[in-house]
Structure 1
Amino acid sequence: MEALGVVMALVALFGVALLVMAVVGTVKAAKAVAAKVDRHSANAQRAMENAALKAKSFAKPGEQGRIAALRLSLRTSLDSTRQVLQAGLPQDGQLTDALQLLARLDSHAGELDTELRMLEREPMSSRVTAKLPELRERAERITHSADSLRWAAQDRIRRFADDELARLGKECQDEAGALRHWTPADPGGSAADRAAETPAAGTDSPGTAASSAEEPADRRKGLGSGRPSSAEELLGLAAEPLSRLADRLRKPNPAGPNRS
């Protein structure tokens, strides 16, 4: 019985844990959906306000139209800068500081937009004329600061893209050069290698040269050659002049002729 009670308690605890997890998940999902809806509704409301300001800037003449155009340019500058910084933040973490500065500019722009909206409802045209130059100067300062952040972020993103493209081009050139160093597919070797291994026509091989060196001198000079030897070469008289040979034959023999 005690073991059964322990098992039931564990099952109950497990069921309570599942129920708590389901409730927490439902609450988180509801908050995420609500935040998404709020974000989309805020964007839609801002888009509607921008469209209304654009229409006022064209439709209403005088100070009212200039105030609407000033509010529209202020919103457009801040929104464009925010989009550029948020788009480049995943690739460049240093844009976080720029986003923080933009948030501070956005707070000043919100205060200025409130003053401009109040000035639109001002019935005294003299006060509108007196306050508008000051508010326009503040709006231009905020707009210039936001534009500077956007231009710097765009230049930074472009520079990183150019550097990456240059590195990619260098790697592609190196790979192309490596691909051009191919090995011939002929297993027997190239024609130049076969020509180098084959002896040239008209040249003697080392064995032929050695056998020619070992031939007897007399065979190279006389009997073994293709040319027939003369009588003078056979008697060893080729080196003696014929005149000396004739003188020696004419010389008388002191012993006299041999008689039988």
Structure 2
Amino acid sequence: MEALGVVLALVALLGVTLLVMAVVGTVKAAKAVATKVERHSSNAQRAVENAALKAKSITKPGDQGRIAGLRLSLRTALDSTRQVLQSGLPQDSQLGDALQLLARLDSHAAELDAELRLLEREPMSSRVTAKLPELRERAERITHSADSLRWAAQDRMRRFADDELARLSEECRDEAGALRHWTPAEPAADRSESAAGAPADARSATASADGPADRPKGLGSGRQTTAEELLGLAAEPLSRLADRLRKPNPAGPNRP
């Protein structure tokens, strides 16, 4: 009975755990869907407002049209800068600081947009004419700051892309040069043996062409040998040879 109770308790605990996990997952999914829907709805609402402001700036003359143009230029500058910074943030974490500055600009732009909306409903045209230059100057400052962040981020991303392309081009050029060396390099041992054997072959060829320096000149020397050289008498003068031949031999003609 005790074992059965333990098993039932474990099964109940497992069921409660699964139920809690299902509830938590459902709540998280609902929050994610709500956030996505809210973001899309806010984007759609902002797009509708921008279209209405553009129509007012074109159709309404005077101060009302100028106010609508200021609001539209302010929103366009901030939205464009936000898109550029968010698109480059995954590749460059330093753009996070620029996004923080843009968020501060957003707060100032929201305050200015509220003042411009109130100025649109102002019945006194004299007050509108008096306040509009000041609000335009503030809008231009915010717009210029947002544009500066966007231009700097674009230049930074372009510079990184150019550097990466230069490195890639250099690597491709090196690889192309390596691919053209299709002849395998000669091993170092073979090169040393060939270098050492070349002088020996040259010396043997020279020796075989010239012949030994101490070979006696004779029948194989390339010229005809005279009778004096064969008898060993080439070194004596001819006069002494004639005197010796004329001298009589006392022992007789048959003795040496």
Cα deviation for residue 243 of structure 1 reads 3.3
Q: Normalising by structure 2, what TM-score?
A: 0.82
**Separation in 2, partners of 1:225, 1:100:** 104
Matched letter for residue 230 of structure 2? L
Residue 218 of structure 2 is matched in structure 1 by 221
**Separation in 1, partners of 2:184, 2:237:** 70
Q: Which runs of 5+ in 1 are unaligned?
A: none
1:238 is aligned to 2:234: yes
Residue 117 of structure 2 is matched in structure 1 by 117
In 2 relative to 1, CA 140–257 (structure 1 residues): closer, same or farther, beyond 3 Å?
A: closer
Cα deviation for residue 21 of structure 1 reads 0.6
Cα deviation for residue 57 of structure 1 reads 0.7
**Separation in 2, partners of 1:240, 1:138:** 131
Cα deviation for residue 136 of structure 1 reads 0.4
Cα deviation for residue 254 of structure 1 reads 9.2
> What RMSD, in angstroms, separates the aligned Cα atoms of the two structures?
3.3
Matched letter for residue 233 of structure 2? L
Residue 129 of structure 1 is matched in structure 2 by 129
Matched letter for residue 235 of structure 1? L
Residue 218 of structure 2 contacts residue 224 of structure 2 at CA under 8 Å; is this kept in 1?
Answer: no
Residue 105 of structure 1 is matched in structure 2 by 105
In 2 relative to 1, CA 126–254 (structure 1 residues): closer, same or farther, beyond 3 Å?
A: closer
Q: Between the two proteins, what is the percent identity of the paired residues?
A: 79
**Separation in 1, partners of 2:173, 2:85:** 34
Structure 2 counterpart SS, 1:221 = coil
In 2 relative to 1, CA 154–228 (structure 1 residues): closer, same or farther, beyond 3 Å?
A: closer
**Separation in 2, partners of 1:29, 1:101:** 32
Structure 1 residues 72-130: Cα deviation after superposition (integer angstroms, max 9, x where no partner): 00000000010011111111111111111111110111111111111111121111111
Cα deviation for residue 250 of structure 1 reads 4.2
**Separation in 1, partners of 2:11, 2:145:** 62
Q: Which runs of 5+ in 2 are unaligned?
A: none
In 2 relative to 1, CA 152–234 (structure 1 residues): closer, same or farther, beyond 3 Å?
A: closer
Residue 176 of structure 1 is matched in structure 2 by 176
In 2 relative to 1, CA 216–60 (structure 1 residues): closer, same or farther, beyond 3 Å?
A: closer
